[in-house]
Amino acid sequence: MDSLSVTIMDEIQQANQAFERTFGRADAPGLARLYTTSGTVLPSGHEPVVGQENIAAYWQAAMQSGIREAALHPVEVEQLDDDTAIEIGTYRLFGEAHQLVDRGKYLAVWKHEGSQWKLHRDIWNSSMPMA
């Protein structure tokens, strides 16, 4: 892995840690600000969620359903150009008392805006068996 790849992996990991901290504070508007203004969330079983206001509402509903914590683990990050990167990773979602609610994999497209990387497209799906 070259030094550019290590750098982008570190930067995306820092952005993921900001996501985890913000989620842990139940700060849905703060989560939405981690997305670009035209960011899109593509959750399984839902229509696309577009824009920061709608993304905040989506995450607020997820938190109200009992999800309390998100853990993200990047597996691969590739920088496509100066302001675009793609990430593949795994996630775990926890409820009360750190009970595992879901685990799965995700793909994220990141855009560099100003001085930080922001989520631009965010899609994930569960690895847990359907109930």
- For the cut 90, the answer to whether the pLDDT of residue 5 exceeds it is no
Is pLDDT of 2 > 60?
no
Q: What is the pLDDT of residues 88-101, one digit of tens each?
A: 999 999 999 999 99
**Furthest-apart CA pair in the chain: how many Å?**
44
Contact (Cβ atoms closer than 8 angstroms) between residue 103 and residue 93? yes
pTM of the model: 0.91
CA angle at residue 127 from 123 to 129, to 5 degrees?
130
Per-residue pLDDT at 131 exceeds 80: no
In the chain, the percentage of residues whose pLDDT exceeds 90 is 89
**What pLDDT score does 1 carry?**
46
Say which CATH topology domain 3-125 has.
Nuclear Transport Factor 2; Chain: A, (3.10.450)
| More confident call, 6 vs 24 | 24
Residue 114 is predicted with a pLDDT of 87
pLDDT tens digits for 20-58? 999 999 999 999 999 999 999 999 889 999 999 999 999
Secondary structure, 3-state, 81-126: ECCEEEEEEEEEEECHHHCEEEEEEEEEEEEEECCEEEEEEEEEEE
- Between strands 84-94 and 49-50, the pairing is unpaired
* Main-chain dihedrals φ then ψ at residue 40, nearest 5 degrees: -135, 130
Q: Per-residue DSSP letters for 25-86?
A: TT-HHHHHTTEEEEEEEEETTS--EESHHHHHHHHHHHHHTT--EEEEEEEEEEEEETTEEE
Q: Break the chain into its structural domains and give their ranges.
A: 3-125
Q: How large is the average pLDDT for residues 63-80?
A: 97
